Amino acid sequence: MNAIEVKKLNKSYENGFEALKNIDLTVKKGEIFALLGPNGAGKSTLINIICGITNKTNGNIKIFGQDNILEYKKTRALIGLVPQEIATDSFERVISTLKFSRGLFNKPPSEEYLESVLKSLDLIHKKTNQIRTLSGGMKRRVMIAKALSHEPKVLFLDEPTAGVDVNLRKTLWSYLNKLKKMGVTIFLTTHYIEEAENIADRIAVIDNGKIIIIENKRKILEKFGEKKLSFKIKKTHKDLINSIKIKYNLKNVGNRFTFIYNSSSKKDSAYRLLSDLNRKSIKFEDMEIKKSNLEDIFLRLVQK
């Protein structure tokens, strides 16, 4: 069963601004799904509509097969949301805010569960602190703990690592993977390509309110990925390489040549290039192969 289904979703704000245009997407149970896009693309609008905080203009949304508006109470209980903006000035204590939040969803009290969440997020030593006394990164983790307080099946995180240092980012990624293993479906937005590349199973790219690609991460890398082979040849061999340069469309700066080829092609054209060099007795050195990462691909896709 799909954890999330969004069909033909549109959103125009009161001032007429069209923030989402015909969004279709599904997220499978147990997936980590990343919605990637620049600022203003419509990520928060989409997440807030799915969670029932912002009204849609038209379209349909289902959470585990149930309409998110007709069955608001049921679907809301299945969802945990970590919003983009974090509340910072609360005088409330960490544990009491979690207990309160859990109570809102009519879950029986379980200090044991809440403590296990705090432990996993490395917050247990702040259990009785007032939230306002915590650091920014800790406050963000409290928001995550709060979103998990009622044991949701789907966790939404809106830019969970914006402005968070590298260490905490990595801790969070491994925690999200742990939640995934426990069967929680994760939907996160991010403008860090690196984040999507690191933890997502599937990635959607949104730009100007439109989804421009939605695909398994591995497939994106295969389909759009390139490899760059570069090597140096001897100065005295420069004339010998001319026909090969044309055949393989090599680029060069001085004696350093680069060959760009599609990494998904089964026949390895790099191998053929190297054997052509051999046949002409062109000696090469300093060979390097670079695979494109999601960032290279993303830049090429958005430029199109």
Token pair listed for 294:
């999601």
Sheet strand arrangement including 18-28: 18-28, 2-12, 58-63, 66-67
Q: Which does 45 bind (CB under 5 to 8 A by kind): ligand ADP, Mg ion, none?
A: ligand ADP
Question: Per CB under 6 A, which region of 32-40, 172-180, 210-218, 235-243 contacts ligand ADP?
Answer: 32-40
Options 3, 32, 36, 41; binder of ligand ADP; rule CB under 6 A: 41
Q: Which does 152 bind (CB under 5 to 8 A by kind): Mg ion, ligand ADP, none?
A: none
Q: Can you spell out the DSSP letters for 171-226?
A: HHHHHHHHHHHTT-EEEEEES-HHHHHHH-SEEEEEETTEEEEEEEHHHHHHHH-E
Q: Does 39 bind ligand ADP (CB under 6 A)?
A: yes
Min dist. Cβ of residue 43 to ligand ADP (A): 3
Q: Which is nearer to Mg ion, 43 or 126 (CB)?
A: 43
Residues 122-141 interacting with ligand ADP (rule: CB under 6 A): none
Residues 6-25 interacting with ligand ADP (rule: CB under 6 A): 13, 15, 17, 19
Residue with tokens 């109570």: 103
Token pair listed for 109:
């009290």
Q: Which is nearer to ligand ADP, 39 or 303 (CB)?
A: 39
Question: Per CB under 6 A, which region of 36-44, 63-71, 115-123, 168-176 contacts ligand ADP?
Answer: 36-44
Q: Which residues bind Mg ion (CB under 5 A)?
A: 43-44, 84
Q: Which is nearer to ligand ADP, 40 or 65 (CB)?
A: 40
Count CB atoms within 10 A of the CB of residue 281: 8
CB 7 within 8 A of CB 27: no
Burial 171-197 (b: 16+ CB within 10 A, else e): bbbebbeebbeeebbbbbbbbbbebbb
Q: CB under 8 Å to 102, separation ≥6 — which residues?
A: 109, 110, 114, 149, 150
Q: Does 44 bind ligand ADP (CB under 6 A)?
A: yes
Min dist. Cβ of residue 147 to ligand ADP (A): 17
Options 3, 37, 155, 225; binder of ligand ADP; rule CB under 6 A: 37
Task: Annotate each residue in 45-64 with x if it binds ligand ADP (CB under 6 A) or - if it does not, as one string.
Answer: x-------------------
Instruction: List residues binding ligand ADP (CB under 6 A).
Output: 13, 15, 17, 19, 37, 39-45
